[in-house]
């Protein structure tokens, strides 16, 4: 009788142990996927904040050239402008 119980109990314990291990493994995968998703979202927010805060060097050069062109145009306009009439 005891042999029959042990013959049934040992495989049953192995089966339960395997099921628990599978469950824990699936939980770990789900948790890892969630953490990866949160990290990706955080990375996107950080990149968006950096792009909104800092200006690239090429953009700075274009802005500087535009400012210089506007200053030249204003200076040329002042030299070509007629003086206001005397009252």
- Give how many domains the chain has, as a whole number: 1
Q: What is the pTM of this model?
A: 0.49
Share of the chain above pLDDT 70, in %: 90
In a domain, 12, yes or no: yes
Check residue 81 and give its pLDDT. Answer: 63
In a domain, 61, yes or no: yes
What tens digit of pLDDT does each residue of 24-51 get? 999 999 999 999 999 999 999 998 888 7
In a domain, 29, yes or no: yes
Residue 21: give the domain boundaries: 2-80
Is the pLDDT assigned to residue 87 strictly greater than 70? no
Cα dist from 16 to 2, 3, 4, 10, whole Å? 20, 20, 18, 10
């Amino acid at each position: 009788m005891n042999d029959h119980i042990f013959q049934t109990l040992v495989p049953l314990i192995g089966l339960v142990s395997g099921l628990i291990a599978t469950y824990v493994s699936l939980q770990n995968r789900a948790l890892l996927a969630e953490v990866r998703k949160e990290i990706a979202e955080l990375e996107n927010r950080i990149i968006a904040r950096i792009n909104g805060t800092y200006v690239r060097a090429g953009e700075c050069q274009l802005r500087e050239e535009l400012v210089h062109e506007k200053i030249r145009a204003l200076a040329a306009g002042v030299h070509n402008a007629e003086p206001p009439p005397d009252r």
